[in-house]
Amino acid sequence: MTIADLVIENVNLYSEGGIIHSGVAVKDGKIVVIAADRYLPPARNVIDGKGQHLLPGGIDPHVHFRDPGKTERETFQTGTMAAAAGGVTTICEHPISMPPPYSPELLKRRIAVASQQSVVDFAFFGAAGADKLEEIPRISREEMIAFKTFFHKPPEGREEEFAGLTMANDAKIYEGFCAIAKTGKILAIHAENDDIIAEQIKKLRKAGKVTGIHHAESRPPISEVEAVAKVLCIAAETGTRVQLCHISTGAAAELVKKAKQRGQEVYLETCPHYLLANESALEKLGPFAKCNPPLRKQEIVDDLWRYVQDGTVDLIGSDHGPFLPSEKEIGYQDIFTAPAGFPGIDLRLPLLLNAMKSGKITLKRIIELICTNPAKTYGLYPQKGAIRIGADADFVMVDLERAFVVDRQKGYSRSADTARLYDGLLLYGLPTMTIVRGRVVMRNGIVAAEDAGWGQLVTVSK
């Protein structure tokens, strides 16, 4: 009889057919058996799940680790340790680094760094910029899952971080979309109208309105809605497959919904903070609640939930954005000088499980949004995204009834001290174990540094 490497028994297992009280066996990093406990094979290591839920490992489709170039903010080791703590077994790294990976050579450098440090598996977005159009066909043949671009000029002082990563006007956007369309890859877009925003910031500064709440005023919903409409129009004309990142308004989601109904290939992502926080956090936390797009009014938050519930939203990413406290604190004098973003990769699953407890979302929908849909969108399925025979043995075990208080001081991110949005919040639903290709990398909140290097590159399934 074949001896498995690992058996997990006595769990409520979330299979593609639903929840079953059963167990799973793992051999050579793959799922080989899903069966009632009495039918599981002998194993070198047996874990008693004690009736907890065993879910597919999470795939975070939107993270920024800044490594290499800004390792004081985050490294692949610290970022993936935070991922493991939150039940994430695969991260999709977006291309802000120094410089961004707009060429095969730069992408290979990032892969090499991640391979040495990552606790969990990883995939990469390539940078797509109008100033580096000649690199797009070259990098598209490398081991990457999608492209990413921004609709603005490089932010002042961060030019090196955004080289080869922006399309700053409509002409450049059209050229960039045409180039991406020829590769067949998805283009992920930070869709905001930079002209509207720049003018609003200018007016607010002139009036002396530079506190936290004025960040939200500087980026009104129309700045997102107009940019999304532009994306859909140009993508339809050029045949570009597109993904809208971190959508914050129901009005933008409605445009995507209608485009899908017309048969356009477009994917929509939002983030927990656009569903579970509102602009009042900017008044309380100032720069530590600053993100782009900004947190919205509660009625906009409530409206966005409708598109999560009706299936329009495809993905929920954390948009994990680490910065140093000193970089954030300058925003107390002028909110527009502080960088946008905050850590959150370790809280994406607990926040959604807590929302499930309050009736906002079902477990089935959570699994679609953070596991199966990301895998299918980026061509990682069936290797990733589901508990099924032959798939990678990526799991997160959760205690749905266990309460805990968010404590940013316990976070693994190098920028954990800036993770203040949910600090002190009581949540129900605790990840207790994370397993990557059959290896336990988190147990009861503890992630071992010696697991650095276990993570592997994943790319589009052939």
Class (C level, CATH) for 57-377: alpha beta
**The predicted structure's pLDDT at residue 200:** 98
DSSP 239-290: T-EEEE-S---HHHHHHHHHHHHTT--EEEEE-HHHHH--THHHHHHGGGG-
Query: The tokens of 260 are what?
Result: 């899908």
Cα separation, 245 vs 254, in Å, equals: 15
Which residues share a beta bridge with 190? 150
HSE-CB at 211 with a 13 A cutoff on CA atoms is 8
Cβ neighbours, 10 Å, residue 209: 16
Q: CB–CB of 369/55 below 8 Å?
A: no
Q: CB–CB of 147/125 below 8 Å?
A: yes
SS3 253: helix
DSSP 200-240: HHHHHHHTT--SHHHHHHHS-HHHHHHHHHHHHHHHHHHT-
Cβ neighbours, 10 Å, residue 428: 17
E strands, 129-170, are: 146-150
SS3 111: helix
Cα separation, 413 vs 346, in Å, equals: 9
- The parts of the chain modelled with pLDDT lower than 50 are none
Cα separation, 302 vs 355, in Å, equals: 13
**The predicted structure's pLDDT at residue 460:** 85
Which homologous superfamily does the CATH classification assign to the domain defined by 4-54+389-404+423-449? Urease, subunit C, domain 1 (2.30.40.10)
Comparing C-alpha atoms, which of 405, 403, 399, 384 is closest to residue 457? 384
HSE-CB at 149 with a 13 A cutoff on CA atoms is 30
Which residues share a beta bridge with 439? 436
Boundaries of every domain in the chain: 4-54+389-404+423-449, 57-377
